[in-house]
Chains A and B, each alone.
Chain A
Amino acid sequence: MAVMQRESSAGYITRAPRSSGLADVLEILLDRGLVLDAYVRVSLVGIELLTVDLRVVVASVDTYLRFAEAVNRLDLRAVDDSRSVPELFEKGTEDAAESKTKGAVEGGMDAIKEKVGLGGRGRGRGDDDEK
């Protein structure tokens, strides 16, 4: 299935008419829209934490090592090329889906999701009550 998508050019565009899910909403509308200084109180719990987390894409030693490891892994896979083509395709797809690099990239988003949940029902609530 994934391989089929790969081979059709249309498979490389996903389209959605609306934002769907938290990841979309955070990327698309958080921090955007009309800002009305004089009339409003923007009273939010949890939003600063979210924006900070969303912007963390800083190259670090850890990042360099992760990319080095990923390149090495891709290299090794290429060396392994003696296998039959269909087998390789399957292997390649699985590897790509579960690779460490991808996991790390998306890990940030998972962390954000958790915090939003907490902000609503858990820790955040205690903070508000103190006022």
Chain B
Amino acid sequence: MSRLYLYGVTRGLRVPPRLEREGVSLIARGGAAAVVSELGDGPVEATRRNLLAHADVVETLHEEALVLPARFGTVLESRSAVEELLALPEIAELLERHAGSSELTLKGTYDEAVLGELAAGLGPLRDAYRRAPGLDTGVALGEAVLEELAERRAADTARVLDALAPLVLDVRASEPSGQLDAFRLALLVARSGVEAASAALDALASELSPPLRFELVGPLPPYSFADLAVPAVA
């Protein structure tokens, strides 16, 4: 029996011809449908190609209607396992809860020039380092700059969240992944609210940029909000 790679769960959707040709199909049961493709033996490899393919499928389909994305690498053993999954009340509930919503991801990154601003009050430490650039003076200055950066990051993040709060349904923050990153936010918005959130960002950008640079991606499937772990029923 062939194994199935699960991209996500949806309802009321058709797979467009391009994806159909690439082997993507739906297994429907009741009101829900799983987006799958048949899989050979062996593990799914976390390759660039596989990751991009997963994103392509769920994001293309989500343009038409909600897709609850499955975690990358999710494999079901058989068609009947897919059908059992679709019958779970948790799936119906998530589909209901997120019908009409999308995720926007917002990343804030500082230009390096922010370091100049942050170091403005650190005259003595800067002078000491310039006179004798070494381990002690370098660590003292660097530590102080990073403390300032942490404060700045917290203040700017709070400002952004305040401004967006009335426009979003939910927010998840993840740890920034770069030293000059300010924040990484996943925003759950109504599809009809995407424009408003985007407009609010223009206002924020004119207030906080430079040195803060914003990157907005979306509307996407609710990657960060489909995190209900479906319990074992076996």
Q: How far is the CB of B160 from chain A (nearest CB, A)?
A: 12
* Contact pick for B48, options A22, A67, A99, CB 8 Å: A22
A16/B145 in contact, CB under 8 A: no
Q: Report chain B residues within 8 Å CB of A91.
A: none
The complex places the Cα of A84 from the Cα of B82 at a distance, in Å, of 68
- Residues on the B chain within 8 Å of A34, using CB: 8-9, 68-71, 74, 94, 226-228, 230
Q: What DSSP secondary structure best describes chain B's contact surface?
A: mixed
Taking CB atoms, residues of chain A closer than 8 Å to B84 are 39
Bound Cα distance A102, B109 (Å): 11
Given A18-B220, A65-B138, A74-B113, does the pair A105, B180 have CB atoms closer than 8 Å?
yes
B 7-51 binary contact with A (CB < 8 Å = 1; else 0): 011000000000000000000000000000000001111111111
User: Do residues A22 and B224 form an inter-chain contact, with CB atoms below 8 A?
Assistant: no
Q: What are 20 A-B interface contacts by the 8 Å CB criterion?
A: A9-B206, A9-B209, A19-B217, A19-B220, A24-B217, A32-B71, A33-B223, A35-B227, A36-B74, A44-B43, A44-B45, A45-B44, A45-B45, A47-B72, A55-B177, A57-B178, A65-B138, A70-B115, A78-B116, A101-B112
A binding-site residues for B, Cβ under 8 Å: 6, 9-10, 12-19, 22, 24-47, 50, 54-55, 57, 59, 61, 63-72, 74-75, 78, 96, 99, 101-102, 104-106, 108, 113, 116-117, 119-121, 124, 128
Report which B residues bind A (CB closer than 8 A): 6, 8-9, 42-52, 54-55, 58-59, 68-77, 81-82, 84-85, 94, 105, 107, 111-113, 115-116, 118-119, 122, 126, 129-130, 133, 135, 137-139, 141-143, 145-146, 149, 175-180, 184, 198, 201-202, 205-206, 209-210, 212-220, 223-224, 226-234
